[in-house]
């Protein structure tokens, strides 16, 4: 099969591309390198030869997006401008990429005869509704431009399936983490920030009181969910599925685990809670289990240990 991975030089996209290539598929990566990194694709051309193709381009460019979608069987649409705080700081830029770019991608996929598009949606769409666990049937209450943009993407996926017959599935990721996640960005996710801070002896920054909880999802589980979404029955199309582990842990508890792995402690620095962040998240993943055959293969403790070992190797 021939796959297009948008945002394929990013954390999630590069892991998806590598898994597909290792399984013997052809992969074309589209990335504008606004947040993606060439180092995430290092060695792909040498290891996988002509099965790997890189197209440097922007989803906001419809002609370029059409070129990227030409001839492919499946699209794994990971391309986005990530981060809630970044969308709060620049909602116009993030909307152009996350909404406008998604519409371009759907138009290009429709016209190219792509078999199915799998969309990287976000658990941030649920917002701060107090009910836990989060179920796909709940009314979304996005708290940030990023969350609203991802929710808009879900609606566009459903509409293109219902109106044009383009098969689409949306996966609401819950706090994905793992190797290749960028700890240096201003908008970096909490786990790589915690790990690299402790390994370098710097005070890890905790926003808020640290008692907020998250349902963290190791990258291998997300890769598996995408592959299952590509082969799921047509009855799953046009729908949204939670992708998570179905467990939650507080940020301070994560920090304690990292201290144990590093065999040292570094006193954290507490900062005010960030605008747009939700307090707690926990997923009900029964719908993904029933309709996609998804079940998390890597539990959170194992994923955290593997992620710690990856960044420990980087720091050395």
Q: How far apart are CA 135 and CA 246, in angstroms?
A: 11
Q: Is residue 278 part of a domain?
A: no
Would 69 be classed as within a structural domain? yes
Q: Is residue 192 part of a domain?
A: no
Does residue 146 carry a catalytic annotation? yes
Catalytic residue among 3, 146, 156, 173: 146
In 3D space, the residue among 128, 148, 152 whose CA is nearest the CA of residue 282 turns out to be: 128
DSSP string for residues in 213-243: EE--EEHHHHHHHHHHHHHS-GGGTT-EEEE
Dihedral of the alpha carbons of 220, 221, 223, 229, in degrees to the nearest 10: 160
CA distance 84 to 250: 19
Tell me the residue range of the domain where 116 lies: 2-177+217-246+283-297
The total of structural domains in the chain comes to: 1
Per residue in 39-90, pLDDT (tens digit) is: 999 999 999 999 999 999 999 999 999 999 999 999 999 999 998 889 999 9
- Give the pLDDT confidence score for residue 316 in this predicted structure: 43
pLDDT tens string 277-298? 888 999 999 999 999 999 999 9
DSSP classification of residue 316: -
Q: Is 184 exposed, middle or buried (0-12, 13-18, 19+ CB in 10 A)?
A: exposed
CA 39/CA 153 separation, integer angstroms: 28
pTM recorded for the entire structure: 0.94
* pLDDT, tens digit (0-9, with 9 covering 90-100), for 161-210: 999 999 999 999 999 999 999 887 766 789 999 999 999 999 999 999 99
Taking 90 as the threshold, does the pLDDT of residue 242 lie above it? yes
Q: What percent of the chain is modeled with pLDDT above 70?
A: 98
Tell me the CATH number at 160: 3.40.50.720
């Amino acid at each position: 099969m021939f796959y297009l991975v948008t945002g394929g030089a990013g954390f999630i996209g590069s892991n998806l591309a590598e898994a597909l290539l290792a399984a013997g598929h052809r992969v074309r990566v589209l990335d504008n390198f606004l947040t993606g990194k060439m180092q995430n694709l290092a060695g792909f051309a040498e290891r996988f030869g002509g099965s790997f193709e890189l197209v440097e381009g922007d989803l906001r460019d419809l002609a370029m997006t059409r070129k990227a979608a030409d001839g492919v069987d499946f699209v794994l649409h990971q391309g986005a401008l990530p981060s809630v705080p970044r969308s709060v700081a620049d909602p116009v830029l993030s909307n152009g990429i996350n909404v406008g770019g998604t519409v371009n991608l759907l138009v290009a996929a429709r016209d190219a005869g792509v078999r199915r598009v799998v969309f990287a949606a976000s658990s941030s769409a649920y917002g701060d509704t107090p009910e836990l666990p989060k179920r796909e049937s709940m009314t979304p209450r996005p708290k940030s431009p990023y969350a609203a943009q991802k929710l808009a993407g879900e609606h566009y996926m459903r509409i293109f399936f219902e109106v044009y017959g383009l098969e689409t599935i949306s996966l609401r990721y819950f706090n994905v983490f793992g190797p290749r996640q960028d700890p240096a960005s201003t908008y970096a996710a909490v786990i790589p920030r915690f790990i690299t801070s402790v390994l370098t002896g710097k005070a890890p920054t905790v926003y808020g009181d640290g008692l907020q909880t998250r349902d963290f999802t190791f990258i291998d589980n997300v890769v598996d969910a995408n592959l299952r979404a590509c082969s799921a029955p047509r009855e799953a199309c046009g729908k949204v599925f939670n992708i998570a582990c179905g467990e939650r842990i507080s940020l301070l508890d994560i920090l304690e685990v990292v201290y144990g792995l590093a065999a040292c402690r570094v006193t954290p620095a507490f900062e005010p809670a960030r605008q747009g962040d939700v307090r707690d998240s926990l997923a009900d993943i029964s719908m993904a289990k029933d309709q996609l055959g998804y079940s998390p293969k890597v539990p959170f403790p194992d994923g955290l240990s593997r992620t710690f070992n990856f960044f420990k190797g980087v720091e050395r």
